[in-house]
Chains A and B, each alone.
Chain A
Amino acid sequence: MNIILITVIVINIIIALLFSLGGVPILVWVERRVAGFIQDRLGPNRCNIAGFRLGGLIQSFADMLKLVFKEDFRARAIKEKFVFMIAPVIVFASAFLSYMVMPFADNLTIGSQTFVMQGLPVNLGVLWFLAFAGLSIYGIILGGWASNNKYSLLGSVRAGAQVISYEASMTLALISLLVTYGTINLVDIVNFQSGLLFGFIPAWGIVMQPLAAIIFIITAFAEANRTPFDIAEGESEIVGGYHTEYSAMKFGLFFVGEYVAMSASSALIVTLFFGGYNIPWLGTTTLKEHFSTVMWVIVVALPILSYFFRGWIIKNNVWLKADDKRNNETKWLVRILVIINVAVIGVLGYFLYAGVGATTTNIAVAIIQIATFAIKLLLMNFVFVWVRWTLPRFRYDQLQDLGWRVLLPLSIANIFVTALVVVGFGV
C-alpha cells in the first residue's frame, strides 16, 4: 500500500460515483428537456440559484430536495415492513454495483504500478454486470409484493415475466460477443475494439456483431425498464406499477435506481459495441505516441468550439423580463467558459513548451479517455431518452412475442454463425 495506489483507487471510486450517482440529476434533466424539445415544449427552465439556471439543471436538485423532505408515508395495510423497506434498496444497490465494473480509461501505468480504471478492480467484467442487473428484479418483485396492492403486484409480475423473456436473449447475444472477443474482461474487450477492420473501419462491436448489437440494445431497454418496455410501471394501465405505494425517498431510490440502471446499460453498450473509451482510429498507444499533436488539436479546437457554444448561449439563454437576475447568468457562463479555455490552453501550452514525461502522458491520456467515455455515455443515454419519447409502450403479449419468438431464435442463430466463422476461419 502506497500513496499513489490509494490516491488512484480513491479517484477511481469518485469517478465511478460521479458517473453513476452524479449522473442521475443530469440524466433527469436531459430526460425532461429533451422530452420538451421533442414535443415542442420548453421543459423545466425557471428554477435557479442566485439567477443560475444552467438550462434547468437546478430543477433536478430542487426535485431531489423535495423527495428527501417529503413525508415517508406507508399504508397500514402493508404488513411486510422489512421487505417493503429493503426493496428499493435492492434496486438501487444492484443498479449502482452493476456500474462498478465499467472501465472508463485504459489501464493506467504510474511508475511501475498498473491500475485498472474502474470503480471496483474486479476481473469479472460482463458477468458482474449480468449478476447485478439480474438481481435488481428482486427489488421490483419484492416491492410490488410487499405493497399489498393489486396494481403493484401486477407491475412486479409483469416485470418478472419481462426479465425472464429478455435476459435469455440478452445473455445469448452477449455470448456471441464473447466468442468474438475471446474474453469477459471489459478492458480487454475495449482494447480489442481499438484495432481496425480491413485497415480502415474501427473494429467496434457494432461493426463486427450488428445483430447482437441490435438484440442487446433492445434487451437493454427492457432490462432498464425503459419505454418501449416499461410495462412494469405502465402508468396508464396499472397506476404506477410496482412503486404505486412508495413515497418520498423510498420512491426516490427506485427512481434513482432506474436512472443508474439506464446509465449502467448505456455504459455496457458503449463498452461492448461502441469502442468504450477509445477515440476511433486513436488507440491508447497511438495517443501516447502522438501526444503533442493531440495537445495541439485540443489547443486549436477548444477555442473554436467554445466560440460557437458562446454564440449558442447568448442566443438561447435569455430571460424575457429585462431586469431579472436570471439574465446575468449568460454573462457569468461566458466568463466561466473563457476561464476554462485559458486554464486548459495554459496547462497544455506549458506541457507543449516544457515537454511531457511518460507518467504525465499516461495520466493525460487517461483523462482524455475518461472524457471520451463520458461523451459516448451521454450520447447513449440520449438515445435511451430519445427512444422513450418516440415510441409508445409495447403491449404485454407483443413484448412476450418479441422476446421469445424473435429475439431468442435470432440470438441463438447469431451464436451459431459467429462460432462457425470463428472456428472455420480461425479469426
Chain B
Amino acid sequence: MGVKIVPRYGKSLKDKLYLPAIFAGMKLTMSHFARNLKDTSNIKTECYPEMQPEDITDRYRGVHRLTHRDDGSIRCVACFMCATACPADCIYIEATERKDGIDEKMPKIFKIDLLECVFCGGCVEACPRDAIRMDTGIFSFIAQRRKDFVLDKERLLSHKSFKGER
C-alpha cells in the first residue's frame, strides 16, 4: 500500500494572514455575481409556474389514470388487487356486473384519495390487466377543498398519458 502524504495548510505566513484567502474567496463570489448581474439568463433557476419542467422521464410516477380497451371502454375489472396492494389505503372500489359482454365485472365506483396516496406505484404493479397507470406526468395537483382531491372514475378515465398511449 502506498502512503499518500496529505499536505497540511495553515503554517505559512500567507495562510496565517487569512487576508489572501479571504480576498481569493471574495474574488470568486464576485465573479459569480458579475456574471449573473450582466445577464440573468446565466442563472439556471426554472421560474416554475411560467416555466414547466421538461425533464419528466418515462418512469415518472404522476397522478393515476385508468386505461381504456381498444373499443374505448374501461379496462378495469374491479378485482381489488390495487386496493389490496395500496399501503396508504387510498383506493375505494365498488364493483358491479358488466352487462355488455366484453367482460364480467367492472367498477361502479373507483375513487383515489390523492391526499392519502403516497405515489408508491404499488397499484400499477399489482394490476393484472394493466388498467391503472401513473404515466400522466401530472406532478402538481391543486384543488381548493379536500373533497376535490378525491378523484372519481370519470376523472381518472379522462387523464391522458403524457407519452400518448391509450
Measured in the bound complex, the distance between the Cα atoms of B22 and A387 in whole Å is 9
Contact B44 A391 (CB under 8 A): no
- The closest CB in chain A to the CB of B31 belongs to A38
Q: Is A386 an interface residue (CB 8 A)?
A: yes
Annotate B36-60 by CB proximity to A: 1 below 8 A, 0 otherwise.
1101111111010011000000000
Q: Which residues of B contact A41 (CB under 8 A)?
A: 43, 45
A-contacting residues, B1-58, CB 8 Å: 19, 22, 25-26, 28-30, 32-33, 36-37, 39-45, 47, 50-51
Contact A386 B39 (CB under 8 A): no
Contact A386 B26 (CB under 8 A): yes
Task: State the Cβ distance, B106 to closest chain A Cβ, in Å.
Answer: 43
Measured in the bound complex, the distance between the Cα atoms of B51 and A321 in whole Å is 9
Assess A390 versus B47: contact at CB under 8 Å? Given A37-B33, A39-B32. no
Annotate A308-337 by CB proximity to B: 1 below 8 A, 0 otherwise.
000000011001110010000000000000
Task: State the Cβ distance, B42 to closest chain A Cβ, in Å.
Answer: 8
Contact B33 A391 (CB under 8 A): no
Contact B32 A37 (CB under 8 A): yes
Q: Is A34 an interface residue (CB 8 A)?
A: yes
Chain A binding surface, main DSSP class = loop
Contact A42 B43 (CB under 8 A): yes
Q: Which residues of A contact B33 (CB under 8 A)?
A: 34, 37-38, 386
Annotate A17-57 by CB proximity to B: 1 below 8 A, 0 otherwise.
00000000000000000100111111000000000000000
Contact A320 B40 (CB under 8 A): no
Contact B50 A320 (CB under 8 A): yes
Q: Which residues of A contact B25 (CB under 8 A)?
A: 390-391
Contact B29 A316 (CB under 8 A): no
B-contacting residues, A65-96, CB 8 Å: none
Assess A316 versus B40: contact at CB under 8 Å? Given A386-B29, A391-B22. yes
Q: Which residues of A contact B50 (CB under 8 A)?
A: 319-321, 324
Most buried by B among A34, A40, A41: A40
Q: Is A291 an interface residue (CB 8 A)?
A: no
Task: State the Cβ distance, A324 to closest chain B Cβ, in Å.
Answer: 8
Task: State the Cβ distance, A45 to closest chain B Cβ, in Å.
Answer: 8
- The closest CB in chain B to the CB of A312 belongs to B38
Contact B39 A316 (CB under 8 A): yes
Contact B37 A37 (CB under 8 A): yes
Chain B interface (Cβ < 8 Å from any Cβ of A): 19, 22, 25-26, 28-30, 32-33, 36-37, 39-45, 47, 50-51
Q: Can you give 26 A-B contacts (C-beta < 8 A)?
A: A37-B32, A37-B36, A37-B43, A38-B29, A38-B32, A38-B33, A40-B32, A40-B44, A41-B45, A214-B19, A315-B39, A316-B39, A316-B41, A319-B50, A320-B50, A320-B51, A321-B50, A324-B50, A386-B26, A389-B29, A390-B25, A390-B26, A390-B28, A390-B29, A391-B22, A391-B25
